[in-house]
């Protein structure tokens, strides 16, 4: 059975991640808005988190072969410990499940972030190219990560083999390298777009720092990924694997929900809402794109981020709550 650190890290991190997702969804409904695609991906993420919480809990109860000593392996095969042998084999099989669920949690949270980014860059000249590149990167890294879950040990039965010792393949070092590198690369890509947009506009320094801080939370997730590569590549400690994986899920959830939750909370102020004064004649496809006003060699561009993009694509979406951000940029 695992130590107390494993239980605490598992339950605290994953339950907190579920609470953060629930807050985002509750705020959305409280504002009277329909769920967006990003919200749907958050729901999917919550489902994977719950599944991982249950499977990882059982894994901690049963244990696995990767932590067994040579003497303990022989003891389990003496015919007098069949119940314990069954639990260890089951726990070893569950490792494949928990690894797969971890990847699903992280990548579905990335899809929620991508939905937000698609709103930031919509109608820009490079919108489709950027989105296609993101979809390709997320799909390829997801497939590579899932494949390495099941291919680090050959033949397949070595994942739960008791004797002889199957070796280091049960640690999953190749899997850790593959999914963490994919995790880091995709996180950098997802942060690059908002950072480049924020840095390219003329706004007050405090407003710029506030927005940059909001989108820079992903740096913590990248840091955790780097630490896990260093600490987990040759580690047989279940406590270490559970701790770092749980932290990854928590921070991935924070990255996925924080910008939208912040915007929804900010909409409680009357001066940030636009629903009452919105002109439906200026909407296109359920979103608002007011024209820019040329003023000498500069122009003021109004960017409206709609938080109520439901299934409707007509002008009725104008009744949703909109947040206005005014940028002043140099005219090329």
Does the pTM of the predicted model rise above 0.85?
no
The whole-number average pLDDT for the span 130-143 is 94
* Residue with the two structure tokens 């580690």: 235
Do 99 and 31 form a contact (C-beta atoms < 8 A)?
Answer: no
Sequence-distant (6+) residues with CB within 8 A of 240 are 231, 232
pLDDT at residue 38 is higher than 90? yes
Percent of the chain with pLDDT over 70: 79
Domains in the chain (CATH in brackets) are 4-266 (1.20.1070), 271-330 (no CATH)
Nearest to 54 by CA among 113, 88, 101, 115: 101
- Residue 103 — pLDDT band, cuts 50, 70, 90? very high
Residues 218-272: pLDDT tens digits? 888 899 899 888 887 777 777 788 999 999 999 999 999 998 898 888 764 433 3
- Residue 180 — pLDDT band, cuts 50, 70, 90? very high
pLDDT at residue 160 is higher than 70? yes
pLDDT at residue 294 is higher than 80? no
- Residue 147 — pLDDT band, cuts 50, 70, 90? very high
pLDDT at residue 107 is higher than 80? yes
């Amino acid at each position: 059975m695992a130590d107390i650190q494993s239980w605490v890290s598992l339950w605290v991190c994953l339950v907190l991640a579920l609470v953060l997702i629930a807050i985002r969804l509750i705020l959305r409904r409280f504002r009277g808005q329909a769920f967006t695609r990003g919200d749907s991906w958050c729901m999917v993420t919550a489902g994977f988190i719950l599944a991982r919480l249950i499977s990882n809990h059982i894994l901690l109860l049963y244990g696995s072969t990767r932590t067994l000593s040579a003497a303990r392996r022989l003891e389990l095969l003496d015919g007098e410990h069949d119940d314990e042998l069954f639990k260890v084999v089951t726990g070893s099989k569950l490792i494949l499940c928990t690894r797969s669920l971890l990847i699903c949690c992280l990548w579905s949270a990335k899809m929620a972030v991508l939905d937000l980014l698609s709103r930031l860059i919509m109608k820009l000249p490079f919108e489709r190219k950027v989105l296609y590149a993101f979809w390709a990167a997320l799909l390829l890294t997801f497939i590579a990560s899932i494949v390495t879950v099941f291919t680090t040990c050959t033949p397949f039965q070595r994942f739960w083999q008791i004797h002889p010792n199957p070796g280091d393949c049960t640690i999953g070092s190749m899997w850790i390298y593959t999914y963490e590198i994919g995790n880091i690369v995709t996180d950098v890509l997802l942060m690059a777009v908002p950072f480049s947009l924020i840095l390219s506009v003329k706004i007050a320094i405090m407003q710029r720092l506030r927005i940059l801080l909001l989108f820079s939370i992903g740096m913590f997730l990248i840091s955790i990924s780097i630490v896990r590569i260093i600490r987990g590549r040759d580690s047989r400690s279940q406590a270490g694997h559970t701790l770092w994986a749980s932290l990854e899920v928590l921070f991935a959830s924070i990255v996925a929900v924080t910008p939208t939750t912040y915007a929804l909370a900010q909409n409680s102020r009357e001066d940030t809402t636009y629903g009452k004064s919105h002109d439906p004649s200026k909407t296109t496809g359920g979103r608002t794109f007011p024209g820019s006003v040329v003023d000498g060699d500069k122009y003021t561009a109004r960017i409206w981020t709609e938080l109520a993009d439901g299934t409707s694509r007509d002008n009725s979406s104008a009744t949703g709550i909109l947040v206005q951000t005014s940028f002043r940029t140099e005219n090329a």
